């Protein structure tokens, strides 16, 4: 199952960035990414919102940077696409994390959905 982040704002960050970061990120409340550490990679899919239509889904890798309240998911530089900034918002479906060489599903039993509008919804 997955962590689904709806209507996420894509922002630019300057300064110190994790290795491999494009400099663009989305933020997620840290509570949704418990058990993961700084530098872990998260494999997911992104849907870019363009007006009311959506573009194709693209698989991406995000690099985790944990903070006290929010975690920052940096879009990997090799997965960065300028189309992401057209509207500045995207839907993410985060499927699994890579910690060292181990892979694990983020939510093995059910999908969890979060967004600024709904807070949290469990499928």
Q: 13-60: per-residue pLDDT in tens? A: 888 899 999 999 999 998 899 889 999 999 999 987 666 665 678 899
- In DSSP terms, 71 is beta-bridged to 28, 66
Please state, in angstroms and rounded to a whole number, the distance separating the CA atoms of residues 70 and 30.
5
- pLDDT at residue 109 tops 80: yes
Q: For position 119, what pLDDT does the model report?
A: 67
Measured CA distances, 115 to 13, 33, 36, 37 (Å): 21, 14, 20, 22
Domains of the chain: 3-122 (2.40.30)
């Amino acid at each position: 199952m997955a962590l689904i982040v709806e209507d996420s704002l894509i922002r630019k960050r300057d300064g110190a960035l994790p290795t491999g970061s494009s400099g663009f990120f989305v933020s997620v409340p840290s509570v949704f990414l418990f058990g993961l550490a700084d530098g872990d990679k998260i494999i997911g899919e992104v849907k870019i919102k363009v007006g009311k239509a959506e573009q194709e889904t693209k698989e991406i890798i995000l690099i985790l940077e944990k903070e006290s309240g929010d975690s920052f998911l940096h879009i990997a530089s090799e997965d960065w696409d300028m189309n992401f900034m057209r509207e500045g918002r995207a839907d993410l479906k985060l499927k699994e994390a890579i910690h060292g060489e181990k892979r694990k599903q983020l939510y093995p039993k059910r999908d969890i959905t979060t967004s600024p509008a709904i807070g949290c919804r469990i499928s």
